[in-house]
Amino acid sequence: MIYKTFLEKLRAVCLEKGLKLQLIGFAGNDKDFPIYKIVVPGTAKNKKTIFFSAGIHGNEPAGPWAVIEFLKKFSPKKYRGPRMVIVPVMNPFGFENNKRRNAVGIDINRHFRDSRLRGDNKLIYDNIKDENVFFFHSMHEDPDVKKFYAYGYEEKPEKIYRDVVKVGGGFFKINKSKKIYGDVSENGLVLNDKGGSLENRLVHDRIPFILCTETPGKEPFEKRTRANAKIMKKVLEFCIRNSD
């Protein structure tokens, strides 16, 4: 029922904004969980795509709900920028059941480097690989913590990642540990290429900007949702300035 309610609200805001929800496939054992994307066309001269992903871990709900918050304030008619693709709930079975894993018990975000992609992994990757992605941002949450952090993937230091951490810092304390889950971290930004994640796969596809944010699940839900929506806006503004 949660997913149904979510889709009703998403559909309403898309209708209001003149945006279409496009079905990309189905998840779940009985293929009863539709997965949708929202596509905002870019200006003709800009051939690049900004890709927002959320809800790949079903127990991290603020990202999906932030998409609705973001769209409420977004004006497609005034928009001049790169094509934007948003998949608000990558793992609707997990979202419905408040579970990290998908219907067959897999952590989807650990299988994107498998030699052959199957099921949800194939469906998700097939919808990204042919887009000319300039910036990929995935919204995650860390259910067990009270501090914000992010993962960035870069060859030289990118200011935008630090700016996004600053946006997170406007809502939460930043995790300033020198290591986060064993990875070297500096001021809340972990620079790492994690095995099997979608980000890891996209690093190997040489996508220029790849960011994964982790809002703290022990902080209020409403605050986490607002933070994610504000980060989406920050990323979008960066892409408008830098992608043509």
Q: How far is the CB of 97 from Zn ion (least distance, A)?
A: 15
Residue with smaller CB distance to Zn ion, 60 or 96: 60
Q: How far is the CB of 124 from Zn ion (least distance, A)?
A: 14
**Residue type present at position 65:** W
- The pattern of x and - marking residues 137 through 156 that bind Zn ion according to CB under 5 A reads ---x----------------
Question: Could you give the dihedral angle defined by the CA atoms of residues 48, 58, 153 and 225, in that order, rounded to the nearest 10 degrees?
Answer: 80
Which of these, 101, 110, 89, lies nearest to 36 by C-alpha position? 89
Residue with smaller CB distance to Zn ion, 97 or 242: 97
97: three-class secondary structure by DSSP: helix
Residue with smaller CB distance to Zn ion, 46 or 109: 109
Number of shown-chain residues binding Zn ion (CB under 5 A) = 3
Site for Zn ion in 73-132 (CB under 5 A): none
Query: Which runs of consecutive H residues, i.e. helices, occur in 102-174?
Result: 119-129, 159-169
**For residue 153, which phi and psi values (nearest 5 degrees)?**
-130, 115
Q: How far is the CB of 106 from Zn ion (least distance, A)?
A: 14
Site for Zn ion in 15-54 (CB under 5 A): none
- Binding segment for Zn ion (CB under 5 A), chosen from 59-67, 126-134, 155-163, 173-181, is 59-67
DSSP string of 66-100? Answer: HHHHHHHT--GGG--SSEEEEES-S-HHHHHHT-S
**For residue 175, which phi and psi values (nearest 5 degrees)?**
-75, 105
Rule CB under 5 A: choose which of 40, 50, 54, 57 binds Zn ion: 57
Residue with smaller CB distance to Zn ion, 91 or 127: 91
Q: Two tokens at 104? A: 């067959």
**Residue type present at position 191:** L
Q: How far is the CB of 137 from Zn ion (least distance, A)?
A: 13
The residues of the shown chain that bind Zn ion, judged by CB under 5 A, are 57, 60, 140
